[in-house]
Amino acid sequence: MDVKHHIFLTGATGLIGRYLLRNFLQDGHQVTVLIRPNKHQSVPERLNDLITFAQIPKKTSSQIQAIEGCLKDLALSSSDFNKIESCDMIVHSAASLSFHKNMNGEPWTTNLEGTRNLINVARKTGIKRWIQVSTAYVCGQQEEKVYEDDHNPASTQNDYESSKRAAEELITQQQDLDWTILRPGIVVGDSNSGYASTYQGIYHCLKSVAFMSRKIKPDNNGNKKLPIRYNLSGKEKTNLIPVDWVAEAITQLSLNPETINQYFHLTSQSPLLAETLVDAVQDYYELTGIEFIGKDAPQPEDKNIYEKIFDRETKRLGPYFQDDPDFDRSNLNKFLPGLEDFNVNKAFIHKLLDFAESDKWGKAENKTDKRKAGVDCNEFFEIYFPDAASRSKIARIKNLNISIGFKVHGDHGGGNWSCIIKKGDVVSVKEVSFLPDSLDVYYSTNHEIFEEIVTGAITTRDAFFKQHLQIDGDIEKALLLSVLLEDLLQEIPFKPTNQIRENICA
C-alpha cells in the first residue's frame, strides 16, 4: 500500500529543499516546513512562493503548513509543537553553506547546534525517522576511492565539511533515531530547465567568465581571447549533479524504510572533467584562451588581470575545482536501480548558462530586493554618498585623491561599488560586477554590518578592529578615509528611505 507520511522538512526555501517539498506534495504527503523570515519576505510570503513553485493545485495547499523558526534558536510554541506532533519523519536539508567560520559562528551554529536543537524537537515529539541531507565531501581530502560506509575520513578542507561531518556523527550516535545519511555531490540547476534559485559554488567561476567575456574586445578576425592559464591539467573530475536528480534520489530513499542506518553517495558515475566544463563555457561565450598548464601556472605576481579576477572568484569555491575522489555508489545503485544516471555534458552546461543569463544571475530579483531592503546599498553609494561628500569635510580636502572599492556581501542587497575621489570631489561612483585590482583601498563587509555602519550604530574603525570589516590595499589611506567617513555620517546622517523587517534569526 502507498503509505502517506507527514514530513517535517527544514531548508524548504533552499535549492534542494524546494524540490523536495514539491516531490513530497505531488506524491500526496503532508508537509510541515520550518521557515524563517528574511529581510524582504515574511514567513507567509515565503510559503506562498513555495506553493507556487511546487505547482500544486490551490485546494491541495492544505497539505502544507509552516512553522516560523530558526534552527539556531528553536524556541517553538505549544501550537508549533501541535503542528509537528503528527509528523512521522524529519527531512533535515537546512544548512549554512559558508565554507569558513564567520563572525556569527556559522557554519557551525546552524549545521551542528541547529541539528542538536532539531534532535531535541524530535525527542519531544516522538519522531524517530530522520533523513540527514549531508554532503559527499565529509570524506575530506581523499585520493583513494571513497566508500559510502567509510568511517576513516581524511582531514576536512574547511569548516563547512567539518560541521557537516560533525552533524552526521551526532545523528548516528542517537540510539533512538532511525537515520539515513544522504550525501550529494555539487548541486547545480535543473536538468530540464537549468533553473537555479541561487548562484553559489561553481556558479562563481561561470559568472566570472561571463563577466570577462563582455569586457574582451574581439581581434581583427572577430575572435575573442580570454588569456587565463590555469593550474590544473584539465583531467580533474568534478561531481556536478542536477538538483531535480538529487531531489528525486532523496525523495525515494527517504520513503524507503529499508534505508535505515545506511549511507548513500548521490554522485555521478561519470563526473565532468574540468576541460569539458571549460570547453562548454568557452563555446557558450564564443571565446578561446583558457589553458590548463598544470604546475607551470604563473606565480601570483606574474598573473594578468583576467587570471587575478578568475582566481579571486574561484577562491570561494575552495577545493571543489580541484580533483574529486571516486565516490562509490554501491548502496545507491542497490536501492535505486531504476534511477537513471544523468549526463552532465556540454549541452547541460549551456542550459545552466542560458537560465543564469536570462535570470541576470539573480540580479533581476536582487534589484527588487535592494529596493525592499531597509538600507539600500545603491541608495547609499550612488545617491547619498556623492551628495553628502560634496557638502562635507571631504570636499574641503583639496589634496584628497583616492580610488576606493566597496564590497558588500549578501545574495540579496549586496554588490560591488567603485568610487573615485579627485581633489576632494567624488568624480564617479558606480556599481560593478567585479572590483578591479587597481584601486587604492578596498572595504569589504556583509550587509548587516554595512547597515550598522551607515546608520551610525557602529563606527567603521570599531567594525575594522572587531574584524567585521576587512580592509585591503593601502591600509594607512584606508584608515584615514575611515575617519572621514565617520565624520561624514555624523555631519550628514544617512536616512534610509525604507524600513527593515526584523529578522528573528539575528
Select from 455, 446, 443 the least CA-distant residue to 498.
Answer: 455
Q: Is 94 in the site for ligand NAP (CB under 6 A)?
A: yes
From 12-20, 287-295, 383-391, 432-440, give the range in contact with ligand NAP by CB under 6 A. Answer: 12-20
Nearest distance in Å: CB 387, ligand NAP? 34
- Residue of 26, 38, 401, 444 that binds ligand NAP (CB under 6 A): 38
Nearest distance in Å: CB 36, ligand NAP? 5
Contact 500, 373 (CB under 8 A): yes
Select from 265, 240, 414 the least CA-distant residue to 317.
Answer: 240
Q: Is 191 in the site for ligand NAP (CB under 6 A)?
A: no
Q: Is 366 in the site for ligand NAP (CB under 6 A)?
A: no
Nearest distance in Å: CB 64, ligand NAP? 15
- Residue of 7, 9, 16, 332 that binds ligand NAP (CB under 6 A): 16
Spell out the residues 6+ positions from residue 243 whose beta carbon is closer than 8 angstroms to its own. 15, 16, 19, 187, 188, 189, 190, 195, 196
- Residue of 32, 63, 110, 268 that binds ligand NAP (CB under 6 A): 110
From 69-77, 355-363, 386-394, 441-449, give the range in contact with ligand NAP by CB under 6 A. Answer: 69-77
* Total binding residues toward ligand NAP, as defined by CB under 6 A: 29
- Residue of 65, 173, 198, 438 that binds ligand NAP (CB under 6 A): 198
Looking up cell 585623491 gives 401
- Which single residue brings its beta carbon nearest to ligand NAP? 14
Instruction: Tell me whether the omega of the peptide bond preceding residue 107 falls within 30 degrees of 0, making it cis.
Output: yes
Q: Is 189 in the site for ligand NAP (CB under 6 A)?
A: no
- Residue of 4, 72, 204, 461 that binds ligand NAP (CB under 6 A): 72
Nearest distance in Å: CB 116, ligand NAP? 12
Cα gap 439→474, rounded to integer Å: 9
Cα gap 257→180, rounded to integer Å: 9
First to last CA, the chain: 45
Q: Is 9 in the site for ligand NAP (CB under 6 A)?
A: no
From 11-19, 330-338, 373-381, 419-427, give the range in contact with ligand NAP by CB under 6 A. Answer: 11-19
Rounded (5°) CA angle 304-307-310: 150
- Residue of 97, 273, 395, 480 that binds ligand NAP (CB under 6 A): 97
What's the length of the chain?
506
Spell out the residues 6+ positions from residue 482 whose beta carbon is closer than 8 angstroms to its own. 459, 460, 461, 464, 471
Contact 46, 35 (CB under 8 A): yes
Where residue 504 falls (left for φ over 0; alpha for ψ -120 to 50; beta otherwise) is alpha
Q: Which of residues 302-331 bind ligand NAP (CB under 6 A)?
A: none
Residues that bind ligand NAP in the complex, under the rule CB under 6 A: 10-11, 13-17, 34, 36, 38, 70-72, 93-97, 110, 114, 133, 135, 164, 184, 186-187, 198, 201, 505
